[in-house]
Amino acid sequence: MIETMNLMERLDKNYSNMSKGQKKLADYIRENYDKAATYTAAKLGSEVGVSESTVVRFAYELSYDGYPELLKAIAATVRTHSNSLQRLENAAIRIGVEQDSIYASIMKEDRNRIKETLESVDEYMFNKVVESIVNADNIYILGVRSTWYLAGMMGYYFRMIFDQVHMLEGSGNVDTLEEICRIRENDIFIGISFPRYSVRTVKAMELARKNGAKTIAITDSMQSPLIEYAKYPLIAKSDVMAIVDSLTAPISLINALIVAVCMEKKEDLEVRLNVLERLWQEYKVYDDHVID
């Protein structure tokens, strides 16, 4: 059971059995997780006033496989719990440590997130998602705040392929739930959310699952609150760059999903694209002028 717990839950569960030094570590991490995410075991021990070996034992006490795993859990806590001011300060620390230009630092981080996503992709799950979308009666898509443009991109292309694509745009939790109150079995609900997770997306996915729809979560980890209600989880690694959510890997995953669906619906799509191309040409949607 503990494998599914996040860091704060593990701290709470184990606190009463910790030594005095371990309790000092737990208290420090609770209050300063944004700073602790950049520390070595020796640095964390120095800040708290305990030995490096105490820090390592502390990681094992929380059922992590050593300090590097604990550090990953602290980083995950930064992504999910940090407010905007903490994110900005943490980004300044990271960029200072890496000693790269801001441009180089951000590009490298995005490259790493795509690499991590590629290495961890579940191709069976990806193919099941494609199959479910292709066979759905209705497709509902929700992404709010920083993920609204991911949902919009997916909806834009899916509307070229399917007739019944519903982009959920309610301004609040109740509005969104009203939009999906008739969702049923053989419909698809696609929820997109990354830290800090949207309560609206979680609640909508819960209702969709309760009504029997197939639910797809596009999120950053199996600890995301969307996972509880997702029949099909798709994991794309994300990060926080100052106040900016780095969603390069999720965009790449969604691109792959759209292309895979296009290939499954190739014949139907060719017919639709012929109609659209004539329409675009007639109404001069695109500028065909070429500069010599």
64 C-beta neighbours (distance < 10 Å), count: 18
Model confidence band, residue 200 (pLDDT cutoffs 50, 70, 90) = very high
Output the six-digit token pair for 63.
């059922």
Tell me the C-alpha distance between 11 and 270, whole Å: 55
Within a domain: 90: no
DSSP reduced 3-state for 148: helix
What would the pLDDT profile of 166-184 be if each residue is shown by its tens digit?
Answer: 999 866 778 899 999 999 9
Within a domain: 91: no
249 and 175 together in one domain: yes
Residue (of 206, 274, 238, 267) closest to 110 by Cα position: 238
Q: Cα angle at 212 between 238 and 223, to 5 degrees?
A: 25
Within a domain: 88: no
What percentage of the chain has pLDDT greater than the value 90? 66
259 and 121 together in one domain: yes
What's the rounded mean pLDDT across residues 105-128? 90
124 and 76 together in one domain: no
242 and 161 together in one domain: yes
Within a domain: 92: no
Model confidence band, residue 1 (pLDDT cutoffs 50, 70, 90) = very low
Last residue of one domain, picked from the residues 81, 101, 124: 81
68 and 129 together in one domain: no
The residues, any chain, with a CB within 8 Å of residue 62's CB and separated by 6 or more, are 7, 10, 11, 14, 70, 73
Q: Is the peptide bond before 196 cis (omega within 30 degrees of 0)?
A: yes
Within a domain: 215: yes
What's the rounded mean pLDDT across residues 277-287? 90
124 and 62 together in one domain: no
Q: Is the pLDDT of residue 223 over 90?
A: no
Within a domain: 202: yes
What's the rounded mean pLDDT across residues 209-231? 94
Tell me what pLDDT residue 52 has: 95
26 and 146 together in one domain: no
CATH of residue 50's domain is: 1.10.10.10
160 and 240 together in one domain: yes
Residue 223, sorted as left (phi over 0), alpha (psi -120 to 50) or beta, turns out to be alpha
Tell me what pLDDT residue 2 has: 45
Its pTM stands at 0.76
120 and 65 together in one domain: no
Within a domain: 52: yes
Per mean pLDDT, which range of 3-17, 83-97, 115-129, 252-266 is the poorest? 83-97
77 and 127 together in one domain: no
Strand 165-167 and strand 139-143: the pairing is parallel
How far from chain centre, in Å, is Cα 176?
A: 20
CATH of residue 200's domain is: 3.40.50.10490
Q: Is the pLDDT of residue 279 over 60?
A: yes
Residue 59, sorted as left (phi over 0), alpha (psi -120 to 50) or beta, turns out to be alpha
199 and 249 together in one domain: yes
Based on the structure, what is the number of domains in the chain? 2
Range of the domain at 143: 116-282
Within a domain: 111: no
Whole-angstrom CA distances from 180 to 96, 137, 200, 237 are 46, 14, 12, 28
Tell me what pLDDT residue 103 has: 82
128 and 74 together in one domain: no
Cβ atoms of 239 and 223 within 8 Å: the answer is no
Cβ atoms of 41 and 53 within 8 Å: the answer is no
